[in-house]
Amino acid sequence: MTESVCAEWAVPGDMAGVRDRVDAVLEGFLAEKARQADRERLPADLVDALHSFVFSGGRRIRPLLCVLGWFAAGGSERLPAAVIRVAAALELQHAAVLIHRDVIERRLTRRGFPTLSCAMAARFAHKPDRERFGRQAAVLLGDLALVWSDELLFSAHLTARQRAAAGSVMSAMRMEVIYGQYLDVRAAGDQVVDLERALEIMRLETVGYTCERPLQLGARLAGADENTLAALSVYARGLGEAVHLAEDLHRVFGDRAGVGSRVEDLRDGKHTALVASALERAVGATAIELRALLGNPSLDLGGATLCRDIMTEVGAREEIERRIARRREHALRAVDEMHVPAAAREVLRVLAEHLTNSDG
């Protein structure tokens, strides 16, 4: 399991144990769902599969940011169990988004393990069309994760004000992700030279969902004023863009992505900022070669290596690295200007550095 991102940091109050507490809530919740399935003779493999996916890794960034939002807005030093439960609901929602995204993109791996659709296909290998079954089962599991995310959220002991605020933020987050994913699907394979459009899709699909909304959620639970919410949004937008750009870069160039992931994005012709920048910069025979490689369903490791070489030669990789650095600095400046507790401000600063470094 991935180590907590806040291990060994100087953090406010209960922050150092956030991941452990979130995992304990998820473990207990899914264990009860397993017992319920047994009592009611429901398919146990659904709970087993979702449990395996949720605990297959992940840095719990959204729960962490939710708790950070709570502390930044002046929430009590002793972290309420209700806030941890809401943070755990974010992680189940994240699982739902990833499961559905993997089906849409027909990905084979996630965090170094088979995607849920592949795992379900392998579990029911006797079926005549196991791949189709695996995709169908994964869609249903994603829906189930979303339902259980709501159950976790609304079974937390929140006040009426907190419940209304949480529902509003979660609904907005889900809407943005769906619109962003649709635009991403629509743009895939088009090879449109439009870096700004790629960035717009990124902001809608992942920036709010990854950083801004989780921070807002925790802050609103603590009763944050508009100035605090605005300051956190400035930070989160800069950080979210940097994190997503770094992830795109790592998926094509990074060792931790794995060979399969490095080929998949290029084979699928995903309209990332990195791809858009390369298409915008490439000219002549180089542009023709790059367009022939991107989105080619037969692209192999050699072709992917050639894509990466072209992206480096035309300066696309360097441009994305510059954008990451600028957005990180934007987030760090926002931290300096925040009127929030010093300990929370320090964690926001270290988090920005940690999530956007070259080893992220």
Q: What is the pLDDT of residue 111?
A: 82
Q: What is the pLDDT of residue 2?
A: 36
Are both 287 and 242 inside the same structural domain? yes
Whether 353 maps to a domain, the answer reads yes
The CATH number of residue 108's host domain is 1.10.600.10
Structure tokens given for 160: 């009426």
Closest residue by Cα to residue 91 from 2, 165, 162:
2
Are both 153 and 243 inside the same structural domain? no
Structure tokens given for 344: 């929370």
Structure tokens given for 19: 């991941």
Work out how many domains the chain is built from and give that number. 2
Whether 9 maps to a domain, the answer reads no
Lowest mean pLDDT of 83-92, 104-113, 149-158, 194-203, name the range.
194-203
Q: What is the pLDDT of residue 308?
A: 92
Are both 131 and 38 inside the same structural domain? yes
Q: Is the separation of the CB atoms in 148 and 95 below 8 Å? A: no
Q: Which residue has better confidence, 8 or 339?
A: 339
Task: Tell me the chain's radius of gyration from C-alpha atoms.
Answer: 21
Q: What is the pLDDT of residue 13?
A: 52
Percent of the chain with pLDDT strictly greater than 70: 91
pTM assigned to the model: 0.86
Are both 322 and 261 inside the same structural domain? yes
What tens digit of pLDDT does each residue of 7-31 get? 333 345 556 688 899 999 999 999 9
Banded model confidence at residue 3, pLDDT cuts 50, 70, 90 = very low
What tens digit of pLDDT does each residue of 189-233 get? 666 667 788 888 888 888 888 899 999 999 999 999 999 999 999
Closest residue by Cα to residue 214 from 68, 21, 79, 11:
68
Q: What is the pLDDT of residue 191?
A: 61
d(CA 154, CA 152): 6
Are both 330 and 241 inside the same structural domain? yes
d(CA 288, CA 85): 52
Which strand (E) or helix (H) includes residue 121? helix 116-123
d(CA 261, CA 274): 15
Q: What is the pLDDT of residue 201?
A: 82
Are both 52 and 199 inside the same structural domain? yes
Whether 211 maps to a domain, the answer reads no
Chain Cα centroid distance, residue 83: 20
Closest residue by Cα to residue 156 from 209, 212, 223, 79:
79
Whether 214 maps to a domain, the answer reads no
Are both 176 and 276 inside the same structural domain? no
Are both 51 and 126 inside the same structural domain? yes
The residue range of the domain holding 316 is 225-359
Banded model confidence at residue 6, pLDDT cuts 50, 70, 90 = very low
Are both 272 and 344 inside the same structural domain? yes
Chain Cα centroid distance, residue 71: 22
Whether 213 maps to a domain, the answer reads no
What tens digit of pLDDT does each residue of 40-94 get? 999 999 999 999 999 998 889 999 999 999 999 999 888 899 999 999 999 999 9
Are both 234 and 281 inside the same structural domain? yes
Percent of the chain with pLDDT strictly greater than 90: 60
Average pLDDT rounded to a whole number, residues 254-269: 66
Are both 94 and 153 inside the same structural domain? yes
pLDDT, averaged across the chain = 88
Banded model confidence at residue 5, pLDDT cuts 50, 70, 90 = very low
On the question of pLDDT at 358 being above 80, the answer is no
The one-character DSSP state at 154 is H
Q: Tell me the CA distances in angstroms from 147 to 142, 144, 342, 360, one per residue in order.
A: 9, 5, 37, 31
